[in-house]
Amino acid sequence: MINQVEAQNILQDFLRIESVTPDAKKSFDFLEKLFKKYNFEIHRVKFGSADTMEVENMFAIIGSGGPHLNFAGHVDVVPPGELNSWKHPPFSGHIEDGHIYARGAEDMKGAVIASIVAGINYYERMDSKGTLSYMLTGDEEGVAINGTEPLIKWVNDQGIKINDCIVTEPTNKELIGDNIKIGRRGSLSCDLRIIGKQGHVAYPEHANNPITHAIKALSEITGQLDEGSKYFLPTNIEITSIDVNNPTHNIIPKLVYVSLNVRFNDLWNEISLMEHIKDRLSSVLDEAEITFDLRKISIADVYYTGSGKLADLLQKAIFNKTNIDAQLSTFGGTSDGRFIAKYCPVVEFGLIGKTMHQVDEKIRIDDFYLLTEIYIEFIDNYFNL
């Protein structure tokens, strides 16, 4: 059994490992040693292609028979940014005033270790039953091409059937246990070129300034597209970058470069969104004889698991440990849950999401302990219905 002091030491050691996407090898070395100490079967699987960087992932499994519960997460973190801005070094795991400071503490190394400690402690008992596994990727904070999506396919191709999954994302707003994610809006990122005619500013009649028309056209596509759906917030388009790369004051440029992102609900898909954006742009630009080129950069599908046995059991475990009625929510950004939902029911539950990706990212030590207890309660109830 792993006690609180040992769990804290494991977490601190894990946080000291620099694992900026996709360099997660040392994190997987650490976890492999931990898993093997407690008799887990380990698979380290790499995925890549001619067009993408190879990424390492891990699948750890213990037990036998059904049901099969999986915890999914990532060990990669975003870059720490300006080191001098941190109160404590970002890979120190420094403890002060009841908090552990480190890049990835909240998103999501803290919850990964909490879930692993909970699983180990359950399987150290003589009456443990069922199968428990962990899918861990080094490619969640990056392009998310060679991580969870091919990993769960690989697991399925091995003939391993996962019945239910918890993704250890930082889902809570204020207190551990206030939110469980049962779905997420999708995300569509696009690059847009608006093409006019270059010319001298003194002779605008011989040019066609794309900036003037771009301002009007972009105002037609940005903002809220609907009123939301039964389970999701409204679809929204935001312009994230505008550039003309024009270093002079006396030239009307030819091109305006735009980046945009759409967070969309289940009323939309990639095709309908692309058609909508093109139609709205055309309504302004065609009359001005301005052409444009809209290109998809990335797409993350919307997914909705809904309520059910998995969410119900997790709510009960949370209430037993906190006396909080956890809200079922689809609020927030995308997650790897969208890949897992194609194979089995999935919910997301982890730490509080207040400092992720920020300078001085940190978690309360007591929150780490509490999350571990909730996971243990849930695992016990899941396998002993």
Q: Which residues are catalytic?
A: 76, 140
Report the distance separating Cα 317 and Cα 37, nearest Å: 28
* Percent helix / strand / coil, the chain, rounded to 5: 30, 30, 40
Amino acid 128 reads: S
**Spatial CB neighbours of 67, under 8 Å, sequence gap ≥ 6:** 130, 131, 163, 164, 382, 383
Dihedral sign computed on CA atoms, order 48, 53, 56, 59: negative
In Å, the largest CA–CA distance within the chain is: 86
DSSP assignment of 122-158 = HHTSTT--EEEEEEEES-SSS--SSSHHHHHHHHHHT
Report the distance separating Cα 123 and Cα 39, nearest Å: 10
Residue 95: half-sphere exposure toward Cβ, Cα within 13 Å = 10
Report the distance separating Cα 76 and Cα 78, nearest Å: 7
8 Å CB contact between 189 and 179: no
Inter-helix orientation angle 365-383/4-15, to 10°: 110
Report the distance separating Cα 385 and Cα 383, nearest Å: 6
Report the distance separating Cα 344 and Cα 341, nearest Å: 5
